[in-house]
Structure 1
Amino acid sequence: MTTTSPTQGPLALITGGSRGLGRNAALHLARKGIDTVITYRSQQAEAQAVVDEIQALGGRAAALALDVGDSGSFPAFAAALRQTLQTHWQRERIDHLVNNAGIGVHAPLADTTEAQFDELMRVHLKGPFFLTQTLLPLINDGGSVLNVSSGLARFALPGYGAYATMKGGVEVMTRYMAKEFGARGIRVNTLAPGAIETDFGGGTVRDNAEVNRFVASVTALGRVGLPDDIGPVVASLLSDDNRWITAQRVEASGGMFV
């Protein structure tokens, strides 16, 4: 059972919350009464703008720097998080962890470099694994972890082999986390977005008209996804409405390649 006191509302930590899907999720959580700590790698001004937006919605938020590709920095990050929780909320733990931060690399398998592979592995697989391990003592019993995967772990598009390999690992990791964390009532699920109009991977889906038309043509609902299609799903999966859902992969792709 959660140890959040009756006077404390739920609180989530979202990695990569300064832009894209992470930003959108943080704003939707604020509308649901869930406060957030967001992380950013280098864009402090963007992160602060998200904090300001959340506060304008009547919520509370804070932003912390974090490079999810540098697992050696996680103990120091956990200490900074503890201090932030005490300073801003007078509490010791969070209720939800959303492992969202990521990078995009587009390269055929034959041309993918070892450096690209290693970076993808550090950010998308090793990072969430060890960040969750580090923060586990700070997650309330009865809370949740949401790991972000990709539709590309189900269907294959040339150029995304290395990226999708990491996301496949994330989905297996999710099931093991759900099994091992279940004794504490912590739910762990995977959210797999389809192609979304953001600046991810250089903004190709958003800005390249040919790519945008192609994605729409292979999507059952006939269009490319928008950030506002994903934020509400995050908010829903973290809510008590889904308290009996764990170890699941939820794809939000509008029906790509069905």
Structure 2
Amino acid sequence: MSKPLMGKNALVTGASKGIGRALAVRLGQDGAVVAVHYNSDAEGAKETVHEIERHGGHAVAIHADLAADDAPESVLAGLDSVLGSHVAPAELDIVVHNAGVGESSDVESLTLAEYERLFAVNVRAPLFVTQRLLPRLRDGGRVVNISSGVARIAMPAIMPYAMTKGALEVFTFQLAQQLGSRGITVNAVAPGVVVNDRTRDQMRANPGFADYARELSALKRLGEPEDVAGVVAFLCSDDGRWVTGQVLDATGGAHL
């Protein structure tokens, strides 16, 4: 089996479940050593590591609360503890910012605390974690930000969440311009409705949700985490070397 990422080190945030787990597993299958970040779900992160190892890959788990002010330092300390050495800090080739607060209230019921947590995890953390990782990111590396289809689709019920993803997309093309001279590509991937624990809960609570979500897509099915992982794997591979500053829609053609 081809291992296009052999010899690469990757960090995937929010990789204890769902899309993040699928991303980490795919990068591990492609040969990368994967740092599996988690916040509250240590057991889930351990399961992700085991899944990567079961497929013949190598992975380690690191903990950091991305809502905390010291999140960047926690991420670096975690990386150094598992990927670094006594004489050199950990270096990375791939950074995937997947962790995020996935739901929000509408504008009428949004609280300041909810707003601050949304932007802390979904925007501030990717910005400042990347800032601290830039000296560790090797030339020719990859940064992939996981956005959302709602950044281009008006859904007022989750407006504040959508705002964070819009900010993440602006960060994407600005950073791509800055890092291009180092051969580093920076892109975003925007999934639509993907089957995971949260959407399964929505389907149980609202029996019509699954049919509604299928109808949104031109392909008339729900997304799977592996669908998103395949897009990210392409961007992280050498085949994706000429794509930068872009948002790749991975919604299955929702709201075309």
TM-score of the pair, normalised by structure 1: 0.91
Query: Could you tell me the percent identity over the aligned residues?
Result: 38
Moved more, 204-213 or 59-68: 204-213
Q: How many Å apart are 1:69 and its aligned residue?
A: 1.5
One-letter amino acid of the counterpart of residue 211, structure 1: F
SS at structure 2 position matched to 1:191: strand
**In the TM superposition, what is the alpha-carbon distance from 1:97 to its structure 2 partner?**
0.3
Local SS of the residue matching 1:145: strand
Q: Which residue of 2 aligns with 1:5?
A: none
Code of the aligned partner of 1:118:
E
Match for residue 102 of structure 1 among 87, 100, 103: 100
| From 205, 211, 214, the counterpart of 1:213 | 211
Residue identity in the other structure for 1:15: T
After superposition, the Cα gap between the structure-2 partners of 1:137 and 1:203, relative to the gap in structure 1 and judged at 3 Å, is farther
| C-alpha contact (below 8 Å) 2:53/2:59 kept by paired residues | yes
Cα 1:206–1:30 shift into 2, 3 Å? farther
Query: Structure 2 matches for 1:72-221, cutoff 5 A?
Result: 72-86=70-84, 92-200=90-198, 203-204=201-202, 208-221=206-219
2:3 paired residue number: none
- Aligned partner of 2:17 in structure 1 is 19
1:71 aligns to what?
69
Return 5+ residue gaps in structure 1 as ranges: 1-7
Letter in 2 for 1:63: A
- SS for the counterpart of 1:110 is coil
Does 1:250 pair with 2:248?
Answer: yes
Q: Deviations over 1:110-139 (max 9, x none)?
A: 111111111101010111111110111111
Secondary structure of 1:111's aligned partner: coil
CA-based RMSD = 1.8
Change (3 A) 1:230 1:66: same
Q: 1:80 to 1:187 in 2, by over 3 A?
A: same
Structure 2 portions without partners, runs of 5+: 1-5
SS at match of 2:83: helix
Match of 1:32 among 6, 30, 43: 30
Return closer, same or farther for 1:31/1:86 CA change in 2, 3 Å cut-off: same
Residue of structure 1 in register with 2:54 after alignment: 56
Deviation at 1:106, TM superposition (A): 3.5
